[in-house]
Structure 1
Amino acid sequence: MSFWWDALGGPPAARPSLSGDRSCDVAIVGAGYTGLWTAYYLARHDPSLRIIVLESRYAGYGASGRNGGWLSAEIDFPHDARLRQAMTDSVDEVLKVCAAEGIEADAVKSGCLRVAVTPAQETRLRAFAVVAADWRLLEPAELATRVRVAGARAAAFTPQCARVQPAALVAGLARAAERAGVLLFEQTPVTGISRGAVSTPHGTVRAEAVVRATEGFTATLPGQRRRWLPMNSSVIVTEPLPASVWSEIGWADAETMSDFAHAYCYLQRTADGRIAIGGRGNPYRYSNGFDPNGHTPDSTVAALTGMLRRLFPAAAEVPVARAWSGVLGVPRDWRAGVAFDQATGFGWAGGYAGHGVTTANLAGRTLAGLITGSGSELADLPWVGHVGRRWEPEPLRWLGVQAMYAAYRHADRTETARGLGHSTRLSRLADLVSGRDR
């Protein structure tokens, strides 16, 4: 369980599981952000729809309750002004729904900082700031008025990001969907998805439309082993920092933050005065393996702790309170997609590659429009219908991912040790092999 659920006193009381066969208009597999946003917007669009959401554990058990709490406008997709604007609008849409539905998710929209702490990172960041829409370059003195990061050489800032408490967001969204008339069955693992039907050990749900919203768990479904890579990401959170330490660090506005390393880390200042920092840890286990309960190896905790203390030496004596891990869905081209086929009644969304908190909202609104045929302009966005090629079979998949991240980490160490002002050839090769636009 993540710190986010701990902070809420654990998950809500268990909802009932499915008991016997059912029929409905729309059946949704997965009660994370994607499934719940889809259900919520469907119910708001047409309250007469019979909507059932099926979840193998509890709502928000997966990445929705374990992520770093970034409500950002980032999406790994070729630059498209319409998609970028849709993501920007989605940040505000989530905040608007939180206000309307009374979801207390510790949301603070203060933007995002990307900080360079080595000469090579600075070179990459300055080039990024020239071309990236909505990002502004900050010199070290201006950055220090926001947050004091050890060794910072430059930063980029965008206002299009908010900090959230992810478990509070998904728990509140589940309650909002239920108030809108959605039926949510927990402890109901799905064993098969076919045209117009979803099979479980407790019964079959027949529906005119079926939506797969399983993100990092998609690889566990029949026929989907190579669709999206279940990539592991890990997070640690400190005990609350003393006021004296915060006075040294600053960070009063609680912007989200990351460095500009190849194997980057991501951070937030929590509502109760802690620092949460995450990174890839052991990014991929052989043959789509992952620990569903989120155990984090000691080596990953040590690595993340080291990153935190290098960035904020003032916090070096603050203990780590909690560590956890989760899986996210990564397509081979790192580009998310959303689709619905009116002929078969089947839809899906995901492959967010770590940017799912906001993207899932856009996916939910898009799917709701596609399913109801409401003619939403979101249906014309370039990610609609996008299906990337499959990942390579094992052992090529495991070897490739391990080599890619080993190359990135080696590049980061080399750039730091030698004070290089440019990316290494090895990192550029890893970019090429990964297939990711960086």
Structure 2
Amino acid sequence: MSGSALRHVPRADDFANGRVSFWLRQTGRPEPRPPLPGSADYDVCIAGGGYTGLWTAYYLKAARPDLRIAVLEKEFAGFGASGRNGGWLSAELAGSKRRFAKTHGRGAVIDLQNEMRASIGEVASVVEKEQLATEVVRGGVFSVAVGAAQRDRLHAKVEALRAWGCTEDDLRLLPPEERAARIAVRGASAASWTPHGARIQPAELALELARTVASMGVDLFEGTAVTELRPRTGGAPAAAVTDRGTVRAEYVIRATEGFTASLRGAERTLLPMNSSMIVTEPLPAAVWDEIGWQGRDLFSDNAHTYVYGQRTADDRIAIGGRGVPYRYGSRWDADGGTHPKTILALWNVLARYFPAARDAGIAHTWSGILGVPRDWCSSAGIDHRTGLGWAGGYVGHGVTTTNLAGRTLRDLVLRERTPLTRLPWVDHRARDWEPEPLRWIGAQGVYALYREADRRENAGLRRTSALGRIADLVSARE
């Protein structure tokens, strides 16, 4: 992309707004709720006011209105990944099918995949039932390949999924004419489409869920930082230690996802992976006539450092990907800023795929963090002996998985044996990440390999770069 073509890319200092996402800029920052007034006792205490915590509180309170439930949040409900993500309500499995099948069998993995698909409809059902002021637009997921290497990977992925019960109705390769008619991507060599996906405005969903659970009688305390989760010992209940006091409860649930490393003793449980987004100004009708995207599909490519996106309700393109993927010592940028090189990299992809949009300005940039377990497999569970529970490790597929987590944790807390509690991700355990500097070296090395693999493939390599395969092996993604 020429330098003159970048004249519309603003400087990084034009975006003194990274602390909130574009989605939260649209909704407005909510009025703060009061912090925890002091030490207290509850039946269930949930650390984290994002989707996982809110869905868990919602389903528990709906099932047992008499339960005393507290949700503890350091910032405000929806501040983290729940209010910063790409708005992808998809059925993408947050974990390795092979690893789950090794412990539970192929059938259980298919059951888990089916529950993920059903969770999309469940979210839409709750939005309608509770009259949440947001929308769920079920346009499916369009995954494009650009170049020969991406095409071969996409074909192989679709073929591999057939062995896991994925039918033509669930996922299919698009013929060239339908591919171009659905979303016109410059240089596209192949594309797949699945109906199992929906676009959301993620901050709206988070804020509306918070409002709903509060109206149900859940105590939602904001401005309250949880520093440690303590197991049940010597007759004393489990507890969440905060800067405002200690909450004792029969069950204490960790729902902190990318912020888990801030908890004492959990520094190496989940690696906080950074993801960044940009969003354009609204695009005129003439641009959309050229691009298409009339079905409001979710969008992704098949690069190693892949991008994801959506056409927003007000006709912008929002696109995201990995920027500075990991900071030494499992730290994160509390202000959600985005590095100028990341802004430029995302803009270059957007302009390359959609040249009709290259004259649009960038309206907002932001970043957020997601949680990655060492084996890249999400999990949910309750230890009835210690009173501690958890859900997380969604590796970027948390919008839908959090809903499944909330319903699963409800059944586990209530000690009900259901099809959800038998799914293979329940009580799954991954080993801790390596200590520093090994995990920083590993994370930086893996993404350097992925970027170089993409560079070689974009330069004309007609097969998947060996560097990409090495990175997959080192990262243990499969």
1 CA distance for matches of 2:400 and 2:309? 17
Q: Residue in 2 aligned with 1:3?
A: 22
2 CA distance for matches of 1:282 and 1:259? 19
How many angstroms does 1:345 deviate by?
1.3
How many angstroms does 1:192 deviate by?
2.0
Q: Which residues in structure 2 correspond to 1:178-193 (within 5 Å)?
A: 178-193=214-229
Taking structure 1 as the reference length, the TM-score comes to 0.98
How many angstroms does 1:320 deviate by?
0.5
2 CA distance for matches of 1:416 and 1:191? 45
| Deviation digits for residues 364-417 of structure 1 (CA, Å, limit 9, x no counterpart) | 100010001122210000000111111111111111111111111101110111
Q: Which runs of 5+ in 2 are unaligned?
A: 1-19, 98-108, 232-237
How many angstroms does 1:128 deviate by?
1.3
1 CA distance for matches of 2:392 and 2:355? 37
2:452 to 365, 387, 410: 410
Q: Residue in 2 aligned with 1:106?
A: 135
1:173 and 2:213 aligned: no
How many angstroms does 1:98 deviate by?
0.7
Q: Please, what is the CA RMSD of the aligned residues?
A: 0.9
Q: Which residues in structure 2 correspond to 1:59-74 (within 5 Å)?
A: 59-74=77-92
1:140 and 2:169 aligned: no
1:115 to 144, 163, 187: 144
Q: Residue in 1 aligned with 2:69?
A: 51
Report which stretch shifted further, 190-199 or 295-304: 190-199
How many angstroms does 1:253 deviate by?
1.0
Report which stretch shifted further, 16-25 or 126-135: 126-135
1 CA distance for matches of 2:340 and 2:473? 31
2 CA distance for matches of 1:48 and 1:280? 43
1:96 and 2:115 aligned: no
Contact 1:83 1:382 in 2 (8 A): yes
Q: Residue in 2 aligned with 1:129?
A: 158
How many angstroms does 1:203 deviate by?
1.8
Q: Which residues in structure 2 correspond to 1:17-36 (within 5 Å)?
A: 17-36=35-54
2 CA distance for matches of 1:227 and 1:338? 13
Secondary structure of the 2:226 match is coil
Contact 1:106 1:271 in 2 (8 A): no
Q: Which runs of 5+ in 1 are unaligned?
A: none
Q: Which residues in structure 2 correspond to 1:180-219 (within 5 Å)?
A: 180-195=216-231, 196-219=238-261
How many matched pairs? 435
Contact 1:123 1:421 in 2 (8 A): no
How many angstroms does 1:139 deviate by?
2.5
How many angstroms does 1:421 deviate by?
2.4
Q: Residue in 2 aligned with 1:41?
A: 59
How many angstroms does 1:142 deviate by?
1.1
1:331 and 2:373 aligned: yes
1 CA distance for matches of 2:121 and 2:146? 31
Secondary structure of the 2:289 match is helix
2:34 to 9, 13, 16: 16
The 4+ residue runs of structure 1 with deviation greater than 3 A are none
Q: Residue in 2 aligned with 1:353?
A: 395
| Deviation digits for residues 190-223 of structure 1 (CA, Å, limit 9, x no counterpart) | 1221121112222221111110100000011111
1:386 to 424, 428, 453: 428
| Deviation digits for residues 8-64 of structure 1 (CA, Å, limit 9, x no counterpart) | 1x2211111111221110000000000000000000010000000000010011000
1 CA distance for matches of 2:74 and 2:455? 41
How many angstroms does 1:160 deviate by?
0.5
| Deviation digits for residues 176-199 of structure 1 (CA, Å, limit 9, x no counterpart) | 111221110000111221121112
Contact 1:238 1:320 in 2 (8 A): yes
1:322 and 2:364 aligned: yes
Give the letter aligned to residue 453 of structure 2: A
How many angstroms does 1:78 deviate by?
3.2
Q: Residue in 2 aligned with 1:432?
A: 473
Q: Residue in 2 aligned with 1:368?
A: 410
Q: Residue in 1 aligned with 2:14?
A: none
| Deviation digits for residues 297-349 of structure 1 (CA, Å, limit 9, x no counterpart) | 11100000000000100000000000000010001111001110112211001
2 CA distance for matches of 1:225 and 1:275? 36
